[in-house]
Amino acid sequence: MSEIRIQGVWKYFSKGKVAALKDVSLTVQDREFMVLLGPSGCGKTTLLRCIAGLEYPERGRIFIGGRDVTDEPPRKRKIAMVFQSYAVFPHLTVFENIAFGLRMQKRPNAEVKQRVNNAAGMMRIENFLERYPAQLSGGQRQRVAVARGLVMEPQVLLMDEPLSNLDALLRLQARAELKRLLQQVQTTTVYVTHDQIEALSMGDRIAVMENGAIVQVDAPTQVYDYPGSLFVGGFIGTPPMNFLRGTVKSMNGAFALNLGGQPIRAALPANVQAGQDLLMGIRAENIEASAQRSPDAVPARVLVVEPLGSHLLLTVQVGETPIKVQTRMDFNIAPDQTIYLRLEPKQVRWFDPETGVRYDASGSTELK
């Protein structure tokens, strides 16, 4: 069992002036692939370094495999870490790079050979063992760094932006490859990235961080479909979730959201009151655009048309608010024209405009 349990961890820098982690609690289950996701400076690396024992939290406890490791040095924690600059030694062959930790432990040659071969096999670099890092592609070098960690048979694998040094295409390939390889290895993994696509595509679960705190922990589809806050909805997705502010209006004994004079047909959260302000969240792909006027569709003025190959991305203006809408490539439209938007009712999410928090359940206040 190598579950990681982080309990109420606080970490300060600069003599207490910077709180890099604020009461962070998180459980990563045995063999789970957990992604820490968030913008630059939100505390991802600091949290990873606390798990590794490279930083000591001022408050809180960290358990690995049920053992309290908070006061233990890194070498006692049975972890392996792969960094952004996956520093492989240029003067050592791939074999000796992978063998490095075992040599430090003065393991017998036969054992080193067998374990290096195993780890290289898992990372599919067994044919490159005699090469030097300069003779490998970026993706292969990155696999050497992972193999070097795995060869130590860690309970926990910690990875800090391991793909960020690769160019875009290689990164795409390496992402899928790494995901497949790590699925086979099944080590408890914590993976830091600020790339939301990487997080969505790789993680069993994602812990989203904002300003030193974890604000949502969920499966990728859940984080994408049900962001817990304005911040999460605005950070995840390309383009990010659209947000429209409106006022609740009483109509025929029910409620509607009035968006710049246009009532929106959607289930509002329970217990809303007339006059209350709400933020509506909807993703670009959940809005249907039409050139034909219809009574229940929201008119919008087209600002920008971007053909992206697989679809068109429109920036349109609803009232005063610009939003993104995704349509088919053959949708014939030009800037300054008016189009009519229908929002998929099941895909509408509601947020409190003051706190930014999503309302949990939708109620029975749908406009008849």
> Does the footprint of ligand ATP cover residue 149 (CB under 6 A)?
no
Q: Which residues contact 168 (CB under 8 A, 6 or more apart)?
A: none
In the complex, least distance from residue 141 CB atom to ligand ATP, rounded to whole angstroms: 21
Closest to ligand ATP by CB, 161 vs 325, is 161
Q: How far is the CB of 67 from ligand ATP (least distance, A)?
A: 25
Nearest distance from residue 356's CB to ligand ATP, in Å?
Answer: 20
Q: How far is CA 295 from CA 1, 6, 298, 307, 347, in A?
A: 59, 53, 8, 28, 20
Only segment of 34-42, 87-95, 265-273, 342-350 that touches ligand ATP (CB under 6 A):
34-42
Which listed residue (34, 42, 52, 81) binds ligand ATP by CB under 6 A? 42
* The only residue of 77, 141, 143, 194 in contact with ligand ATP, by rule CB under 6 A: 194
Whether residue 247 contacts residue 205, with contact meaning beta carbons closer than 8 Å, is answered with no
Q: CB under 6 A: which stretch of 13-21, 173-181, 274-282, 354-362 binds ligand ATP?
A: 13-21
Near ligand ATP by CB under 6 A: residue from 7, 23, 30, 41: 41
Tell me the window of 42-50, 128-136, 287-295, 334-342 that interacts with ligand ATP (CB under 6 A): 42-50
User: For residue 40, how many other CB atoms are within 10 A of its CB?
Assistant: 7
Out of 34, 43, 144, 154, name the contact with ligand ATP by CB under 6 A. Answer: 43
Q: Which of 45, 196, 216, 229 binds ligand ATP (CB under 6 A)?
A: 45
Of the candidates 9, 20, 125, 289, which one interacts with ligand ATP according to CB under 6 A? 20
Q: Which x/- pattern, by CB under 6 A, does the window 266-285 give for ligand ATP?
A: --------------------
Per CB under 6 A, the segment of 14-22, 221-229, 249-257, 337-345 that binds ligand ATP is 14-22
Stretch binding ligand ATP (CB under 6 A), from 43-51, 88-96, 151-159, 342-350: 43-51
Least Å distance, CB 212 to ligand ATP, is 7
Q: Judged by CB under 6 A, does residue 18 bind ligand ATP?
A: yes
Three-state SS across the chain? CCCEEEEEEEEEECCCCEEEEEEEEEEECCCCEEEEECCCCCCHHHHHHHHHCCCCCCEEEEEECCEECCCCCHHHCCEEEECCCCCCCCCCCHHHHHHHHHHHCCCCHHHHHHHHHHHHHHCCCHHHCCCCHHHCCHHHHHHHHHHHHHCCCCCEEEEECCCCCCCHHHHHHHHHHHHHHHHHHCCEEEEEECCHHHHHHHCCEEEEEECCEEEEEECHHHHHHCCCEHHHHHHCCCCCCEEEEEEEEEECCEEEEEECCEEECCCCECCCCCCCEEEEEECHHHEEEECCCCCCCEEEEEEEEEECCCCEEEEEEECCEEEEEEECCCCCCCCCCEEEEEECHHHCEEECCCCCEECCCECCCCCC
Give the count of residues interacting with ligand ATP (CB under 6 A): 13
Identified binder of ligand ATP from the candidate list 40, 127, 221, 271, rule CB under 6 A: 40
By CB under 6 A, which span of 44-52, 58-66, 227-235, 275-283 interacts with ligand ATP? 44-52
Residues that bind ligand ATP (CB under 6 A): 13-14, 18, 20, 38, 40-46, 194
